[in-house]
Structure 1
C-alpha cells in the first residue's frame, strides 16, 4: 500500500508509540492553562489559609514557568490514613476488625477461651476491653492477622469492611472518609501527582480497600508490614502464609524509612494528624524547593471528634496531637487544618440518617 501523505509505516508506528508521553505532557500543559479556582476543585473546604495553601502549592509546582516547578516524575504526595483520611476514634478501624475476629480464632482454638486477653475480648465488656494493654493488643493482632494465606486474609478483610458498622454513625467504615481529603487527593492526581498512603496501620489490611475508597492502588500503600512464608498446598499450588514477623513498623521514624524503602523519592507534599507523622513531615520539608506539609487538627466534637491535647483539646492515646507538635508546626511553617473551621463538610454527605 502506498504511504499516506508520504508517511511510511515505520514513522507512523513511531509516532503512535510517542502518543502516551505526548498526550500526558499536553494534558498537563492544558490543565495548567485553564482558569481554575480553589472553589471549583476543593468545594468542601471553607475559604482560608489551608485551602489556599493547597491550591497555591499545586499551581506553583505544576507551572513550568514557575521557579517552584516540579518535574512530573518527582510529584509525590503522601497521606497518613487514620485520622487524616478517615475516622480513627474511639479506636482504630483495624483494631475493631481484629477484635471482631477473636470469636473465630477462639472457635478454632477453644483453649484460648479462658486465656487473657482473649477472655476479656470474648466477654464483650467494652470498658474492660478499653483497658487492655499494648501487649494484650499485640497478642490479639498476632492471632487475628497471621497464620492464614494472603488470599484468605484479603477475603476476610473485604467481607468485614463491607459489612461492619461504626458504633456511633451506624455506617460502614469506608463511608467515614473525609470528603475534603478525597477532593485533595483528586486535585493532586489531576495535576500529575502520585498519591500514596503511608500509615502505621497494617499494609495488607489497607491494600484491600485503598483502590475502592481512595483511588489509590495497592502498590501505592506503605504501611506496617509483616512477614510472609512461601509454601505449597497438598496439590502443589504455591501460596504465601502471613507470619507474626515484623518487617517494617511504619510509624514515627518508620514512616520516612518506609517511604525511602517503598517509594524511593522524597515527597513534595505530606499530610498527617498526629505525633506519629512528625518525622514524615520533617523529612518532606527537608527537601529542596516548595514543599507542602499539613496536619489535621480534630477540633469538631459535634460533626466528628475533638482531641489533642494541643490547643486545650482533650488528651487522647489515639491520634495524639501534642502542644509540642503544634508549636513545631507553627515554627516550621506547616499548615494546621482546623476540622471545625476549614472543612465545610466532613463526609460525603453532610448528615447521616
Structure 2
C-alpha cells in the first residue's frame, strides 16, 4: 500500500472532510471504500464552503500545470477554474472521507495486513509516518496518578464527592501528559464538541504545536477545535497558533475574547471596505484575503500579547469601522 505525500486534507464550514490528491496519489486513495470521489460539478460548492485558511492552503497546494506557479497568482475566478479543469482532466482528484485521511489509512491498513502496525510501501515509497517532520527529542512520559495510589479511607457520605474530584484530577493529568509526536493522529485530538479540546490544547507547548502543525491532518483538526462552534472571525488566527500560544493565550480566549461573529462584520457593518467569507454558494468576499493576510503579518511580527495589541491599532484603523475601540473584549482587558 502506498502512503501519500502529495495530498491535502481540508474541512469545510459544515464539518465535511475532503482530501485533494494529485493523479498518482488518487489511484491509491480509491482503494479506500468509504472515500467518495467528488466530480467537477460539485467542486464549486465545496470551494465556497471552505474556510479562508482551507482555501488558502489549497491554492498553495495545487499549482498551475503550465507555469508551476501558485494559484495565488490568479484571481479567485481564475483559480477556481484552474481547479475545476484539473479535476475534469483527471490531474486532481477530490475525495470526501468520513473520519479524515489518517482514519482511512488506519482502517485500510488493518484490513489489508492484520498484525502489521506499518503497512508496506509500494516501490521505493517509505511509510507516511517516517516522512513526517517531527521533533528529534522524544517526549518523556509522566506517571499519571491513579485513584488506587492515592486512595484514602473516607466516610461514606463523602465518597461521591471524592469520586468526582478524582475524576477531575484524572482528566487534568491526562490532558497535560506529553504526547507522542511520532505517532499522534487526528483521531487522538479531541473535538470541540467533546468538551475536551480546550483543555487538551491549553496543555500543549508552543514547540509541540509547531511540530503538530507540520502535518496537515493534525493542523486541520486543531484549527477546527480552535474555531469552537464556528461562525466567528478569530483575531487570533488559528493558522498561527504556534505563534500566539507563546503569549499565554488560551483556546477559550481565542473563541470568545478575541473573536467576533461574522454577521457582525458583514451585516453589522463592522468590516471596513471588505466582507468576510461565509462559505455560502455564490457569495463574494471582496477584500477578505487582503485583510486576513495583513492580520497574519501582525501576528507573525508580534513578540508578546502586549506587542500584538499595540500592533493591531494600525490594522484596526484600516479594516474596522470604529477602529481599535470596536475590537472585542480581549483587546481591552
More strand as a share of residues: 1
**Is the structural similarity TM-score above 0.5?**
no
Q: What's the TM-score, normalizing by structure 1?
A: 0.23
Which gives a bigger RCO, structure 1 or 2 (Cα 8 Å, sep 6+)?
1
